[in-house]
Structure 1
Amino acid sequence: MPLGEKPAYLRVAEDLRAQIADGTLPPHTRLPSQATIRAAYGVSDTVALEARKVLMAEGLVEGRSGSGTYVREQPVPRAIRRSGFRMLGGCTPFRQEQTDERVRGTWEGDSEREEAEPGIAARLRVEPGDPVMCTRYVFRAGSEATMLSTSWEPLRLTGRTPVVLPEHGPLAGRGVVERMAAIDITVDNVVEHVGARPALADEARLLGGLPGHPVLVISRTYQAGGLPVETADVIVPADRFRIAYHLPVR
């Protein structure tokens, strides 16, 4: 193959992708069968199969058991807003958006004591196996699950205090900053790292997607004088949402 020439399966995938983009193959239309692709493009079964795999990996088509492969309806991405400004009522940015009347948001969360695995221990600067309070959230807009969040707080800070459970007690749901202030810990900064990866099976099940489809991962850590007091992973479907940051200029 000459340098720079595309493999046959990519050329076929590119043409099918263009048909999806221009509406020749609209959403919910069955993708041409492997035999049809083979005949139309003069390629082998292997090339036809690989072209279909490319479109599936890109999230443009989906397989339906016993029925075939169909063009997926592509959602219009919506914004999940992050802000560097003080949140109303001590809420986190995500929780504040969930309370917006236009969003009709709800959330549910469960907490349980766990031992810090090495990766989380490193983020919290504790020893692996140290006790942490782990809280898992599902956020919804109407009936649609929009994001997942798992947070960990070191029990050496919150254990035996009224704020040990983020969703119970006098400051339930008030956010990390306000809860930590109640035990004389002043949170003064937050660090976020944003990345992407394929969705895990459990994440896809909760978010209504397919395993392997891309998700955005926000790894967030609240700190007080350089001491991590909470770290969390926020999972957002990349095909449905964009993360919008609103930061003050000093």
Structure 2
Amino acid sequence: MGDTRPVYQRIADDLREQIDKGDLEVGAPIPSRSALKRAYEASDQTVDRAVRVLKAAGYAQGQFGRGVFVMDRKPLGTLLRSTGSVDSPFAARISVDGTALSWEATSVTTPADRRIAERLGIPAGDRVMCTQYEYLADRKPVQLATSWEPLAITEGTDVLFPERGPYAKRGVRGRLAAIGVRVVRAAEIVGSRAATSAEAETLGCSPGQCLTVVERTHYDADDRPVETSDIVIRADRWRLEYDIPFTN
């Protein structure tokens, strides 16, 4: 039985196989459009579609004026999700020893949209502190996160700004404990979606490439949501590791 795959998919699969086998090494150019057209007897549109599939899968990246090149897909590290690490500023294990980790953050007050209000159990439009994080490894962005906290809990306290004040950089549990709020659990939902143009530019990937998104929400002793956040990483460069202790 003949190959029933669309031609663009066959081209993309063949190129992926060459990359996985090492026949096309990291940094090597993807065969030109004219070369692929001849090899597969395909049209410009078919070849371009195949290359777009390759880019979206994180196998290749275009360089303006130069062409399309094989990307490094070796996992950069592991994002740790455990009792001890979920609350940390940068819950990650980097594969390369000696990597310098840091982060930058910007906080603004804003009305909660319907999605965030639902996650926090508050009316849409209620004011929240929105903090956007950019996590860096050797000064290169590797992880993005956005956190939302209800101002009804933190306004007028020393923990209003997560990265400023006497309790800065202590994580959600440490900061809220300072104002008498005991955080007892966190829940996470892991999903995926395509990278936006802004995310792709920051994370060094192609627009449309697959990202892993972790939706995390912290709860207090009354099961009230006190913080929720979205953590965004490149699916091709990061793995998720969960430590799941069993209790009797």
TM-score by length of 1: 0.88
Tell me if structure 2 keeps the 8 A contact 1:82–1:246.
yes
Structure 2 residue 123 is matched with structure 1 residue 127 = yes
Q: Name the CA distance, whole Å, in 1 between partners of 2:104 and 2:54.
A: 35
The structural deviation recorded for 1:148 is 1.2
Tell me if structure 1 keeps the 8 A contact 2:212–2:234.
yes
1:52 alignment partner in structure 2: 51
Q: What residue identity is the alignment partner of 2:38? A: A
Q: What residue identity is the alignment partner of 1:229? A: V
The structural deviation recorded for 1:9 is 2.4
Q: What residue identity is the alignment partner of 1:17? A: R
1:37 alignment partner in structure 2: 36
Structure 1 stretch displaced more, 22-31 or 170-179: 22-31
1:184 alignment partner in structure 2: 180
1:143 alignment partner in structure 2: 139
- The answer for unaligned runs of 5 or more in structure 2 is none
Q: Name the CA distance, whole Å, in 2 between partners of 1:33 and 1:95.
A: 40
1:85-100 paired onto structure 2 within 5 Å: 85=84, 92-95=87-90, 97=92
Q: Which runs of 4+ in 1 moved over 6 A?
A: none
1:21 alignment partner in structure 2: 20
Q: Name the CA distance, whole Å, in 1 between partners of 2:234 and 2:56.
A: 15
1:212 alignment partner in structure 2: 208
TM-score by length of 2: 0.88
Count the aligned residue pairs.
244
1:96 and 1:61, CA in 2 relative to 1: closer, same or farther beyond 3 A? closer
The structural deviation recorded for 1:183 is 1.5
Give the aligned CA root-mean-square deviation in angstroms: 2.4
Q: What residue identity is the alignment partner of 1:20? A: I
Calculate percent identity across the aligned residue pairs.
Answer: 38
1:82-124: per-residue Cα shift (whole Å, max 9, x none)? 2124x6xxx923436589x844211111211111111111111
Tell me if structure 2 keeps the 8 A contact 1:98–1:106.
no
Structure 1 stretch displaced more, 47-56 or 2-11: 2-11
- Secondary structure of 1:93's partner? coil
Structure 1 stretch displaced more, 47-56 or 145-154: 47-56
2:241 alignment partner in structure 1: 244
2:228 to 228, 231, 234: 231
Tell me if structure 1 keeps the 8 A contact 2:56–2:206.
no
